[in-house]
Structure 1
Amino acid sequence: FFNDQTFSDITIRQIREDKAKEYKAHRVALCSMSGWFLRVARKDVIEVHDDDPNVFEFMLQYIYSQMYD
């Protein structure tokens, strides 16, 4: 379900240097793996600024798969 709109209930907008990328996500997946997401996931859209886009996407993939390379 990573970045799959099926049953998604939250959007994460990752912004860096005036470029934005959006991810469709699921509160239950995010909040079960991250206290930070648990605190901020009350909104339908979460904006994350200035994080490295590659690292941020890797973190989201880990949340969904619990695997890393």
Structure 2
Amino acid sequence: MLSGFIPIKSSVRKLERDPVIERTELSTNHILVYLEKVSIHLGQGWDRNTGTGTFGHISKKIWDSKVPRI
């Protein structure tokens, strides 16, 4: 998650209604989105939580949940 930002819960609920999304898991520092297939755009909204002044890097991890990770 970007430093100083929190997810907008209503936008996460909106994602859950998308037919390609199997489920979501939300915590204070990350959102896990389980997809049936990968689409070009996910409409996720963000609110700025604190004034950090600088932005940190964001990481995204994509893996096939049906294939065991080593």
Higher-helix-fraction structure: 1
TM-score band by shorter chain is under 0.3
Question: Rg: which structure is higher?
Answer: 2
TM-score, normalising length from structure 2? 0.27
TM-score, normalising length from structure 1? 0.27
